[in-house]
Amino acid sequence: MSNGSGGPAWPPRGEPAATAGPRGGERRPLVAANWKMHLVRREALAWCRAVREGLQSPAAELVVFPSFPLLPAVAEAIAGSRLSLGGQDLHPEAKGAHTGDVSGPQLRDSGCAWVLCGHSERRRDHGESDELVGRKVAAAERHGLLPVLCVGERREERQAGRTFEVLERQLRAGLTGLTGRPARLAVAYEPVWAIGTGDTATPATAQEAHAFLRRILGESAGAAAAQGTRILYGGSVTPENAAALFAQPEVDGFLVGGASLDPGKFLAIIAGCGRAG
């Protein structure tokens, strides 16, 4: 059965589409630190110590995405803590002549549980297509990794009124080939015009985009899948705006870029998602 992007629907249809509503009780908040191409080993280990020491019963699930060379050191530094490890990208194939790439099995072997797929900087810097991102999401599932599927519109696309068109295209393509449980996927809405610019989307803008993404998830996967999938916001998240963004019922957490490099700021963003009861 087609999902509108040329591939099979994920999972098979059979449930009514989801509608926007209060945050599902089963959706635990998720806050992720994307270090991008920052930090060296000494700085990474200091970050891990500071965050471990500063965590106070967070309500959120926590993930850190270091650069590939830092994965083994960070895996050791966060062992036994509330932090999980993720890779910033993966190749669709398990092995082969792909110089400079990394595979799902290699990420698993390095201690990763998560992986980013389709981050806007990969799409921009490496020309990653929607089809390639979908293959990466499927590869993550195949190799036992939890994918964070990143979607988002550029400034010119938003100004042209094409935001929902872009989000739907990227989301449907990213789901192509997935066969597993909905809980094995998170979606990150990252308005490209807000990443690293300081131009954060307003809480209302984020809510609108997240509600739309959840509706498309419902059409593609059914109500239960849509309501169980966490949708994160990523776009100049700071301690100052985190609480207001998280107050929106469709915002389930954050993919944090620049602010995550500062342990104090990252801890403050985590605190904005509340504490465990």
Q: Report the catalytic residues.
A: 119, 190
Using an 8 Å Cβ cutoff, are 176 and 8 in contact? yes
- Angle (CA) 195-83-175 rounded to 5° is 55
Tokens read off for 188? 């990150």
Write the CA distances from 60 to 114, 259, 267, integer angstroms. Answer: 15, 17, 11
Using an 8 Å Cβ cutoff, are 69 and 87 in contact? no
CB atoms under 10 Å from CB of 129, counted, come to 11
Neighbour-count burial of 167, counting CB atoms closer than 10 A to its CB (0-12 exposed, 13-18 middle, 19+ buried): buried
How far is it, in rounded angstroms, from Cα 108 to Cα 113?
Answer: 7
**Residue 214 CB contacts under 8 Å (≥ 6 apart), including other chains:** 18, 20, 226, 227, 229, 231, 250
Name the nearest CA neighbour of 133 among 1, 7, 260, 27.
7
**Residue 54 CB contacts under 8 Å (≥ 6 apart), including other chains:** 263, 264, 267
